[in-house]
Chains A and B, each alone.
Chain A
Amino acid sequence: MEAVNERELVERCRQGDQGAFQELVDRYKDLVFALIARTVQDRSRAEDLAQDVFLRVHRGLPYFRGEARLSTWIYRIVANVCLQDQSRAPKASVSLDDGRGAARTPSAADRQYGDLELRDRLEKGIARLPANYRLLVAAHYLDGVQYEELAEALQLPLGTVKTQLYRAKQQLRRLLETELK
């Protein structure tokens, strides 16, 4: 979104224009929902959290100084909401093995279902990552979220974001190692 349009939209929202806020929700809902749904991996929970994000945006708009881009500020709220939710939720204990044995070598028949099975295991693997890694993986592979924006939203140096993302993928690769071979 252009900076001028963004400022105008924020200004209209601040003046209590409900239509402007609805426009804001429409513009960011897909990105916010996708980011949260990928992080928490539960659609109904993701919807509640996404609504919570927009509620916080609505409450916080009078205090938004416009120093960062609106999208960056929204990502920061998303990150806070996801990390707070993670700290409240009980530790995930998703098994990658489904009782089939971790070191089992996939047979030829398994390979026919390889993609689906791997996708399922990938999601389970991601669920076992720490919340901040999950958020990074979720955001990085969504269209429109740049490294720089992510670094600003998470208030981390760009290098740290990249390093953490590499570590997340390394950890994920280790989790899935036997299945990917």
Chain B
Amino acid sequence: MFCDEALDAIEPIAAGELKPDGRIAAHLASCPNCAAALEDARRLERMLRSRPIPRTPPQFTSRTMAIVRRQRWRSEQFLDVGFNVVLIAVALVIVGGVWLFMSQTGLAAVSSDAVDLFGAGFATVARRVAPSVPLYAGATALLAMALGIWWWAERDASL
């Protein structure tokens, strides 16, 4: 047997996964180089088995969960924004389609009279409603503030 052949078996023998058969055992007994290599391999094996296991840092779970929640919240926000963008795009397409249809069929000319009529009506309504505008504005601001506080509280809770 040549040393190369024995050296190929050194690692499995050192790991205890291969029992040296007669030829290898005889070679190891007669070849000091291969015997030394086996001794080195056994020593390395012992060192590898006794390597300290790195300890997980404290708070690892809570830190990981915080990252996972943040990531989830971000992806939900992204989905919300995407949904809103799609909605706006669909609305624009519908409005554009209607406008195109009206201009192609001549309905736009008829509708301009209707727009004038609605405009005059709207101006009348606006004149009557104008005194109450500050009241409505205040109520709207209060509602917006309440919604803002609710959103802020929900966001903190989800984090």
Do chains A and B interact in one complex? yes
Q: Write the residues of chain A forming the contact surface with B, with a CB cutoff of 8 angstroms.
A: 18, 21-22, 25-26, 29-30, 33-34, 37-38, 43, 46-47, 50-51, 54-55, 58-59, 118-119, 122, 137, 141-143, 162, 165-166, 169-170, 172-173, 176-177, 180-181
Contact between chains at B60 and A172 (CB < 8 Å): no
Q: Is B71 an interface residue (CB 8 A)?
A: yes
Assembly CA distance A95 to B17 (angstroms): 32
Shortest C-beta distance, B8 to chain A (Å), equals: 8
Q: Of A33, A38, A118, which one neighbours B60 at CB under 8 angstroms? A: A33
Q: Of B40, B48, B51, B72, which one neighbours A180 at CB under 8 angstroms? A: B40
Q: Is B25 an interface residue (CB 8 A)?
A: no
Cβ contacts under 8 Å, B53 to chain A: 30, 34, 142-143
Contact between chains at A172 and B44 (CB < 8 Å): yes
Q: Of A33, A50, A51, A137, which one neighbours B48 at CB under 8 angstroms? A: A137
24 CB contacts below 8 A, A to B, read: A25-B60, A25-B65, A26-B61, A29-B56, A30-B56, A33-B56, A37-B54, A47-B60, A50-B56, A51-B60, A59-B71, A122-B44, A137-B48, A141-B49, A162-B12, A165-B11, A166-B12, A169-B11, A169-B14, A169-B44, A170-B10, A170-B11, A173-B37, A180-B43
Contact between chains at B54 and A34 (CB < 8 Å): yes
Cβ contacts under 8 Å, B56 to chain A: 29-30, 33-34, 50
Shortest C-beta distance, A113 to chain B (Å), equals: 15
Residues A51 and B64 in contact in the complex (CB < 8 Å), given A34-B56, A172-B44: yes
Q: Is B41 an interface residue (CB 8 A)?
A: yes
Shortest C-beta distance, B17 to chain A (Å), equals: 8
How many chain B residues touch A (CB < 8 A): the figure is: 31
Q: Write the residues of chain B forming the contact surface with A, with a CB cutoff of 8 angstroms.
A: 10-12, 14-15, 17, 36-37, 40-41, 43-45, 47-49, 51, 53-54, 56-57, 60-61, 63-65, 67-69, 71-72
Cβ contacts under 8 Å, B12 to chain A: 162, 166
Main secondary structure of the interface of B (DSSP, over half): helix
Contact between chains at A173 and B47 (CB < 8 Å): no
Cβ contacts under 8 Å, B10 to chain A: 170
Shortest C-beta distance, A56 to chain B (Å), equals: 10
Contact between chains at B54 and A29 (CB < 8 Å): no
Contact between chains at B61 and A38 (CB < 8 Å): no
Cβ contacts under 8 Å, A169 to chain B: 11, 14-15, 41, 44-45, 48
Q: Of A58, A170, A172, which one neighbours B71 at CB under 8 angstroms? A: A58
Contact between chains at A38 and B51 (CB < 8 Å): yes
Contact between chains at B51 and A58 (CB < 8 Å): no
Assembly CA distance A172 to B15 (angstroms): 14
